[in-house]
Amino acid sequence: MKRIIKFRGKDIKTGDFVFGDLETRPKEDFMVIHQYHEDGSYKSQVKVDPETVGQFTGLKDRDGKDIYEGDIIGVKARSDDSTILHLVFFDDSEGRFKAGLNGTQDRHDFGCCGLDDERWTHSKTIISNIYDHPELLETEE
């Protein structure tokens, strides 16, 4: 089985997302993303904030964009013009990526489902991510 394993994280200096291979540094307060040119040659290494690191799920949204851990994906509701939002996360206990309705990460919650294939993500669009727009998942009490 061939699958693409890549990560993204926010550059500590610029705040921009960078993409590539992940190197963890347990004794440091940062991680490193190693970037490569399209031809596979080494480009650079960038220090990233560990809180913003997310893995590529292997899936794309309906516009062909890669879906990463921490992305907020949405789909238009059938009943009105609202957008239903889900947070993409990795469930350690089940060993798979999931999407939680309005950000829920409770594996027993009805609003949480597995990202097992492209049939589910085909109708979804990446709206943003939890690091840039956490307020999108805030719900009124």
For residue 25, tell me if it sits in a domain.
yes
For residue 68, the domain's CATH number is: 2.30.30.290
Identify whether residues 61 and 29 lie together within a single domain: no
User: Shortest CA distance to 46 belongs to which of 96, 75, 12, 77?
Assistant: 12
37 and 64 inside one domain:
no
pLDDT of residue 139: 66
In a domain, 1, yes or no: no
Domain count, the chain: 2
- Same domain? For 65 and 132 the reply is yes
The confidence score (pLDDT) of residue 117 equals 61
Q: How confident is the model at residue 104 (pLDDT cuts 50, 70, 90)?
A: low
Residue numbers of the domain that contains 36: 7-52
**pLDDT above 80 (res 32):** yes
pLDDT for position 83: 83
Residues 15, 41, single domain; the answer is yes
Q: Phi/psi of residue 71, each to 5°?
A: -75, 150
Cα separation of 22 and 122, whole Å? 27
Of 58-62, 86-90, 117-121, the range with the lowest mean pLDDT is 117-121
In this structure, which long-range contacts are made by residues 19-25, counting pairs with CB atoms below 8 Å and at least 24 apart in sequence? 22/53, 22/55
Mean pLDDT computed over 97-117: 67
